[in-house]
Structure 1
Amino acid sequence: MNSNVENLPPHVLRLVYKEVSALAADPPEGIKIYPSEEDITELHTAIEGPEGTPFAGGIFRMRLVLGKDFPAVPPKGYFLTKIFHPNVGHKGEICVNVLKRDWKAELGLKHVLLTIKCLLIHPNPESALNEEAGRLLLEDYAEYESRARLLTEIHAMGGTSGAPQDPNDGPQPKKHAGDPMKRAGPSAASVPAALVDIRPTLFQICPYVNPKTVVEIKQNT
């Protein structure tokens, strides 16, 4: 994708450079920033799969691309690591409201990164790009969890193309300590692990999540 450095006003470039530098120096927990000195309009990151989800133990590479109308228009987000997720298309494109109708210029890149990490904790089947993943999330969570975990193990763990080139750089993959749904007992077998294990935390770190949607997912599983 072509650089938009020459298309952005100098004051916007200064603000982007300042925010990216701050994020690289003090990144959000579980997120590593890889700024480019040559092209500040394309930001590469690595997101650690949240515990209690099918993505736990994986490192997911992602990029944000700032268009010529940024920050009036939101950046575009893409997963570079293959992932089975309702809101990630087959080419890695990410569908989340903060990158569409809920975008505000003052939100900033940190908010975008945190929202995408929250999307790994609580997918939104109402805006699915991967229709099969969205259907399984609502109708057969055990199968969804199995498919998502399999792709995590294949593509996001242990020196794959989705991991940082330097094994000591960025969040490190963790061995997954068992199946959280099995630990929760038979009565929770069809409930998303993220909602069983970390539901209180979910609404603290993901304020955009609609509690009604969470309840609907639990009732339909």
Structure 2
Amino acid sequence: MIKLFSVKEKAKKDAAAANGKQQKTTAGELRVQKDISELDLPKNVSLRFPDGNDKIMNFEVTLKPDEGLYKGGAFLFSFAVPSGYPHDPPKVKCLTKVYHPNIDLEGNICLNILREDWKPVLTITAVIYGLNFLFLAPNADDPLNKEAAQMMQQSPAQFERLVAQSITRGCSIGGDYFPPCRGERSS
């Protein structure tokens, strides 16, 4: 698959040269090409390029947990990869409103490898696996949604019931409505 990207890149450069413009590929773009060409996604994860396959610095990932509390849900994430990648982490937002202790109502995600523990050796695959892990083992000790974390710690059965209800039917929790996000619905 690396050859596919290099062929595409050569075609892009040839087209740019024909137009009298030389398009420069950044180190970040080269690394993202490499990361994407080496992706080995689990069956519950899909990748999409809403701006076209040649706009690889912005893409979406849909996660459909197949076990745990969030099983049956479909969660959409946007990835915006900065030009300083891999030295700077990708900016990831959850576009699906979800009742989760580590994801706030604006879609911000509390995942250490997206912040203080980011290292240039980490890849897009590592981030996707990290997101997947958040749905398998939510962490109430490092919350962004403090109300969800408190419910998870103080009343685990109630927390599980609210998560299941929010995924299947949607529900209001603490004045905020969480629409259904079942995996069989298109994302």
Task: Give the TM interval when normalised to the shorter protein.
Answer: 0.7 to 0.9
Does 1 or 2 have the higher relative contact order (CA < 8 Å, sep 6+)? 1
Alignment partner of 1:31 out of 45, 56, 75: 45
- Which structure 2 segments of 5+ residues have no match? 1-23, 171-179
Greater Rg over alpha carbons, structure: 2
Give, as a single letter, the amino acid of the residue that structure 2 aligns with 1:128: P
Measured in 2, the distance between the counterparts of 1:38 and 1:151 equals 36
**Length-normalised TM-score, structure 2:** 0.73
2:88 counterpart residue number: 73
Aligned length: 152
2:75 counterpart residue number: 60
1:156 counterpart residue number: 181
Where has structure 1 moved over 6 Å in runs of 4 or more? none
The alpha-carbon deviation at position 158 of structure 1 amounts to 6.2
Alignment partner of 1:40 out of 32, 56, 60: 56
Q: Deviations over 1:58-114 (max 9, x none)?
A: 221111221233221211221112211000010111111111111111110000000
Q: Deviations over 1:28-56 (max 9, x none)?
A: 342111134242111201111231x2211
- Which structure 1 segments of 5+ residues have no match? 1-7, 165-221
**More helix by percentage:** 1
Measured in 2, the distance between the counterparts of 1:14 and 1:113 equals 19
Share of identical aligned residues, percent?
A: 27
- Asked if 2 retains the 8 angstrom alpha-carbon contact of 1:45 and 1:61, the reply is yes
Tell me whether 1:117 sits opposite 2:132 in the alignment.
yes
- Asked if 2 retains the 8 angstrom alpha-carbon contact of 1:50 and 1:121, the reply is no
Q: Deviations over 1:111-143 (max 9, x none)?
A: 000011001111112221111111011111111
- Asked if 1 retains the 8 angstrom alpha-carbon contact of 2:93 and 2:108, the reply is yes
**Alignment of structure 1 residues 115-194 onto 2, 5 Å:** 115-153=130-168, 154=170, 155-157=180-182, 160=185, 163-164=186-187
Tell me whether 1:83 sits opposite 2:83 in the alignment.
no
The alpha-carbon deviation at position 159 of structure 1 amounts to 5.9
Tell me the secondary structure at the aligned position of residue 100 of structure 2: coil
CA RMSD of aligned residues (A): 2.0
